[in-house]
Structure 1
Amino acid sequence: MDWANPFYRKKKVSFRLRNLNGEKLKVNDEMGNPIEIAAVVVWHVQNTFEALFDVESYTDYVKTQSESAIRHITGQYPYDITDDTQKLSLRGSADKVSEALAKELQERLGKAGVIVDEARLSHLAYAPEIAAAMLQKQQASSIVAARQKIVDGAVGMVDMALKKIDESGMAQLDDERKAAMVSNLMVVLCGERSAQPVINTGTLYN
């Protein structure tokens, strides 16, 4: 006589790598700006017992925890930075952000016997309602940064020119003439238009 155990069940679990192509999520970054973000997660089952018995559905668990981790990580970084600080950003530090995402995912999914092989951002953009405004802000910030570099360079060149004149004895300039020379050089070096030559037929004082 054959006996059957009514509590026995058999279920196959693949150890192959799997890809989770996450959907675009609308999340606020560290600065409160709404952005769209998505990630690709490569994973596989390592512990079949934990995958089958510690969670109800390990595939659903991977998807749910991945979305939760992405939302959490996104809130820790700004979308972009506009200065020269070393702070990380979603746009400028994608590799570092992906590493942080993979680490957090492993902490979450390890409970289900899952190993995270790779996690990387697959989509990143400002939400449509602020995209145009943020683009203008980025362009303005770029212009300001470029202007700052031009001014810094011009100041250095003017300082070098004055020192060269003093060292060579080419001319003796009092404070007023130096001020006039600085003003003229700064206009030439920082101006957007080409310099127009002017012949001075008098002196600085008349």
Structure 2
Amino acid sequence: MRESKAWYVNGFLGILFILLFLIVAAISLLQQMLMPAIVLAVLAVLLATGITIVEPNQAKVVTFFGRYLGSIRDSGLFLTIPLTRRQTVSLRVRNFNSSTLKVNDIEGNPIEIAAVIVFKVIDSAKAVFDVDNYEKFVAVQSETAIRHVATKYPYDTFEHEEITLRGNADIISDVLATELQERLKVAGVQVVEARLSHLAYSPEIASAMLQRQQAAAILAARKKIVEGAVSMAQMAIEQLEKEGVLELDDERKANMVNNLMVAIVSERAAQPVINTGSLY
């Protein structure tokens, strides 16, 4: 099913014809011309059933005894085919706020996740005839897509670089929007935007995962500190040897590196010990 344009004309012109038919029918009735008066009155009533009003950003899906005749997208007063059924479909941009879902991420950790889906109808025929209720269809498919995306990625990680639900919100939103669009195109719906509105560990593991995050963060920070300390110690020795300030044997180099590492890596300020000489 694809949307097509229905036949319609200006509604004020249709009302003018209806009034003319009624006036002529009344004149015929006064002149005791019963049959023409009845025919004209019936024509006026039939034309009146074709009068319809379309508001901005709405579409009227026109069906004639079960057959789809087209849709009216222009706003205003129109006269279309009489005796037709005209169903209103909103073309406005709308929001769907999913409920908070409890799912397991790719690592099996239970998490809570929710999203806001911004969508609009772009094909009124598909929205009416290809699905039973397109609004309920959007709601069900949105929650299904959110669950599927949540199971493809970890909530968070400090061990290596990869896409995570918490750390790559823009990428996750794009993936969710793409998957949701594939699911909703059958209903003639376009996904404008999809954004996570809630993301957290489930209460039963939130405390444990917080400790894990803190430990991983401390380890990652320590790793950076050690890497920096090694680099600084190496640059210090190379600079001293390059400028010929002093020559160090292997034992003194090791001692110097040890002192620099302790001073840089330690959480507290280093307390230097000054050698003032020997009594003997």
Q: Give TM-score, length-normalised by structure 1.
A: 0.89
Q: SS state of the match for residue 11, structure 1?
A: strand
Partner of 1:110: 185
Q: What's the offset of the Cα at 1:172? A: 2.6
Higher-RCO chain (CA-CA 8 Å, sequence separation at least 6): 1
Correspondence 1:189 to 2:264: yes
Q: Deviations for 1:27-77, whole angstroms, at most 9, x for unmatched residues? A: 111111111111111111222221112111111111000010101111111
Query: Which residue identity does 2:223 align to in structure 1?
Result: Q
- In 1, the alpha carbon distance for the partners of 2:89 and 2:244 equals 87
Moved more, 10-19 or 104-113: 10-19
The SS at the match of 2:113 is: strand
In the other structure, the counterpart of 2:101 is: 25
> Counterpart of 1:156?
231
Which protein has the larger Cα radius of gyration, Structure 1 or Structure 2? 2
Instruction: After superposing the two structures, state which structure 1 stretch, 161-170 or 33-42, moved more.
Output: 161-170
Question: Aligned equivalents of 1:118 and 1:166: distance in 2?
Answer: 60
Q: 1:150 is matched by which residue type in structure 2?
A: I
Q: Pick the aligned partner of 1:141 from 198, 207, 216.
A: 216
Q: Does 1:75 align with 2:151?
A: yes
SS in 1 for 2:190: strand
Structure 1 distance, partners of 2:188, 2:274, is 83
Deviations 1:125-155 (A, max 9, x none): 1111111111111111111111111111111
* Cα separation, 2, equivalents of 1:172 and 1:47: 81
After superposition, give the CA deviation of every residue in 1:71-94 in whole Å (9 maximum; x if it has no partner): 111111111121452x21111111
What residue in structure 1 maps to residue 61 of structure 2? none
SS of residue matched to 2:117: strand
Determine whether 1:92 maps to 2:154.
Answer: no
Residue 36 (structure 1) aligns with? 112
Amino acid across the alignment from 1:15: L
CA distance in 1 between counterparts of 2:236 and 2:123 reads 72
Deviation at 1:167, TM superposition (A): 2.3
Per mean C-alpha deviation after superposition, the further-off stretch among 9-18 and 116-125 is: 9-18
Q: Return 5+ residue gaps in structure 2 as ranges.
A: 1-41, 50-63, 67-83
More strand by share: 2
Partner of 2:133: 57
C-alpha distance in 1 between matches for 2:230 and 2:158: 23
**Displaced runs of 4 or more, over 4 A:** 1-9
